[in-house]
């Protein structure tokens, strides 16, 4: 998680870079959810879905 946070794009980043970051965030959350249980796993999968959705919305702007 620390590597992902440190790789967060800055304010001058392009749409593709930001979308890629959100996609990587979704993958990480899905992996973490595999080791979680119950409500925590559901929460992580939900956050992953939201990250994927945001990435898709960003890419649709191109």
Confirm whether 1 is domain-assigned: no
- Assess if residue 5 is contained within a domain: no
**Residue spans of alpha helices (H) in 7-37:** 15-34
User: What is the pTM for the complete model shown?
Assistant: 0.91
Q: Per-residue pLDDT tens for 6-60?
A: 999 999 999 999 999 999 999 999 999 999 999 999 999 999 999 999 999 999 9
Residue 31 inside a domain? The answer is yes
Range of the domain at 38: 15-60
Q: Is the pLDDT of residue 61 over 90?
A: no
If one counts the domains in the chain, the total is: 1
Is 1 a residue whose pLDDT tops 90? no
> CA quadruple 14, 52, 20, 39: dihedral positive or negative?
positive
Q: Is the residue at 9 inside a domain?
A: no
């Amino acid at each position: 998680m620390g590597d992902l946070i440190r790789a967060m794009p800055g304010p001058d980043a392009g749409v593709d870079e930001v979308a890629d970051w959100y996609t990587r965030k979704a993958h990480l959350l899905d992996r973490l959810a595999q080791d979680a249980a119950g409500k925590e796993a559901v929460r992580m999968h939900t956050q992953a879905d939201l990250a994927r959705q945001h990435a898709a919305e960003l890419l649709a702007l191109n």
